[in-house]
């Protein structure tokens, strides 16, 4: 591990720790901490699955627990749907 990798890991750990102790996070910080794309978070905001609000500093934030629940359900649904679909696409042809 070189110095750049060390600093990147330290930054990621600090962000993850900040998300764990806070009730709110910006969509970008939440996405970085959870290893998902910011576009996915913004999609769920636009679709009405996640609510956004202004924090005291004026930035848009989401509720961490609400976002965790949304993405936990999404991952559970994707996993269960993928299990039964292997090989289904070619059977009709």
Q: Identify the sign of the CA torsion 83, 43, 49, 22.
A: positive
The DSSP code for 35 is: T
Domain ranges of the chain: 9-78
Matching CATH number, 9-78, of 1.10.10, 3.20.20, 3.60.21, 1.10.357 = 1.10.10
Q: What is the pLDDT of residues 69-82, one digit of tens each?
A: 999 988 888 765 54
Q: What is the pLDDT of residue 1?
A: 76
Q: What is the pLDDT of residue 75?
A: 80
Residue pair 57/46 in contact (Cβ under 8 Å)? The answer is: no
For the chain, give the mean pLDDT.
Answer: 81
| pLDDT(88) > 60 | no
Q: Is 60 helix (H, G, I), strand (E, B) or coil?
A: strand
More confident residue, 20 or 64: 64
Instruction: Tell me the pairing of strands 52-54 and 24-25.
Output: unpaired
Q: What is the pLDDT of residues 27-65, one digit of tens each?
A: 999 998 898 999 999 999 999 999 999 988 899 999 999
């Amino acid at each position: 591990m070189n110095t750049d990798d060390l600093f990147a890991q330290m930054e990621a750990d600090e962000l993850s720790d900040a998300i764990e102790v806070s009730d709110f996070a910006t969509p970008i910080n939440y996405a970085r901490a959870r290893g998902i794309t910011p576009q996915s978070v913004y999609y769920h905001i636009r679709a009405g699955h996640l609510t956004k609000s202004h924090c005291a500093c004026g930035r848009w934030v989401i509720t961490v627990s609400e976002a965790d629940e949304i993405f936990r359900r999404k991952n559970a649904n994707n996993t269960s749907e993928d299990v039964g679909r292997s090989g289904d696409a070619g059977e009709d042809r």
